[in-house]
C-alpha cells in the first residue's frame, strides 16, 4: 500500500514538473502576447491616422489585424502546451468548416463589408438612406455598418444586404436642389405669385444662380394651382433654406393678399318627410 502511494506521489510530481512548467510558460506567453497585441494595435491605428488612411477603412483593418494576432497567439499557447499541431490544425479545419456552414449569414456580411470598403459607395460621415433607414455613417465594421440618426438613434445595418441593395448617398455632391410646392387659389394672379417667389429667391444669398432657379406651374385643378419652385444651394444649406423659404412664402402671400385654396364641400340636403 505504501508502495502504491509512493508511486502515485512520484507520478504526480513528475507530471507537475513536466506539464507545470509548460503551463507556466504558456500563461506567460498569453499575458505578454496580450500586452503586445494591444500595443501593436494602438501603434498601427496611430500609423494609419498619420498616413491618412481612409477613416472608413481604419476600424475594418484594425479588426482584421486584431483577429489575426489573437489567432497566432492562441496557436503559440497551444503549441507550448504540447498539443500536436498537425492534429490541432486538422481539428481547427473541421471546426472552421462547421462554423462556416453555421455562420453563412455572418460570412456574407463579412464579404459585404469587404465589398463596401472596396467600392466605397459611402464613407464615414456621409448621410445615406438604405433598407428603409436613413442616417449619418458612424462606423463601418466587419459585419455591419452603424448609422446615427438626426434624433440620435443608432442603427446597425448588416453589410451583406447593404452591399447588394440600393443606397442613396446625399453627401457625394456638393450641391442639392430644393423643390418647393406652393398651392394657391385658382383666382390668384399667377404672374404676381411668381413675382413674390422670385423676390424671395433674389433676397436669399444661399440660393445659387447656376443652375438657374425655375418657377413653373406643375398642376392646375378646379380650385387650386400648384407652383413648383426649384432652386439650388450648397449641401449644408439644404434644410435651413427649405424651411426658411416655406415660412417666408407664407408670410409674403398673406401680406399681398394671395389666397390659399379652400376645398369645396357639397352639403346634401335630407329629403323632407311628409
In tens, the pLDDT along 39-51 reads 888 888 888 777 7
Q: Residue 91: pLDDT above 70? A: no
- The long-range contacts involving 92-101, CB below 8 angstroms and separated by at least 24 positions, are none
In tens, the pLDDT along 121-179 reads 998 899 999 999 999 999 888 888 999 998 999 999 999 899 889 999 999 999 999 99
Cell numbers for 18 = 513536466
- Provide the strand spans (E) within 70-223: 127-130, 133-140, 144-148, 154-158, 167-169, 175-185, 214-220
Amino acid at each position: 500500500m505504501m508502495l502504491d502511494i509512493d508511486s502515485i506521489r512520484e507520478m504526480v510530481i513528475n507530471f507537475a514538473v513536466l506539464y507545470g512548467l509548460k503551463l507556466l510558460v504558456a500563461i506567460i506567453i498569453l499575458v505578454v502576447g496580450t500586452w503586445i497585441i494591444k500595443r501593436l494595435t494602438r501603434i498601427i491605428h496611430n500609423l494609419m491616422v498619420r498616413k491618412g488612411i481612409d477613416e472608413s477603412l481604419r476600424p475594418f483593418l484594425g479588426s482584421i489585424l486584431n483577429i489575426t494576432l489573437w489567432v497566432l497567439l492562441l496557436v503559440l499557447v497551444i503549441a507550448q502546451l504540447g498539443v500536436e499541431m498537425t492534429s490541432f490544425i486538422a481539428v481547427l479545419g473541421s471546426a472552421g468548416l462547421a462554423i462556416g456552414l453555421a455562420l453563412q449569414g455572418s460570412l456574407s456580411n463579412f464579404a459585404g463589408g469587404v465589398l463596401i470598403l472596396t467600392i466605397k459607395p459611402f464613407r464615414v460621415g456621409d448621410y445615406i438612406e438604405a433598407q428603409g433607414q436613413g442616417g449619418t455613417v458612424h462606423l463601418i465594421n466587419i459585419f455591419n455598418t452603424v448609422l446615427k440618426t438626426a434624433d440620435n438613434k443608432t442603427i446597425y445595418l448588416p453589410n451583406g444586404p447593404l452591399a447588394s441593395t440600393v443606397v442613396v448617398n446625399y453627401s457625394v455632391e456638393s450641391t442639392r436642389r430644393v423643390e418647393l410646392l406652393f398651392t394657391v387659389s385658382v383666382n390668384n394672379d399667377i404672374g404676381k405669385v411668381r413675382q413674390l417667389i422670385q423676390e424671395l429667391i433674389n433676397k436669399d444669398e444661399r440660393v445659387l444662380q447656376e443652375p438657374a432657379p425655375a418657377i413653373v406651374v406643375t398642376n392646375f385643378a378646379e380650385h387650386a394651382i400648384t407652383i413648383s419652385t426649384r432652386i439650388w444651394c450648397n449641401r449644408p444649406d439644404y434644410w435651413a433654406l427649405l424651411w426658411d423659404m416655406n415660412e417666408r412664402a407664407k408670410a409674403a402671400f398673406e401680406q399681398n393678399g394671395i389666397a390659399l385654396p379652400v376645398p369645396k364641400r357639397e352639403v346634401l340636403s335630407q329629403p323632407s318627410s311628409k
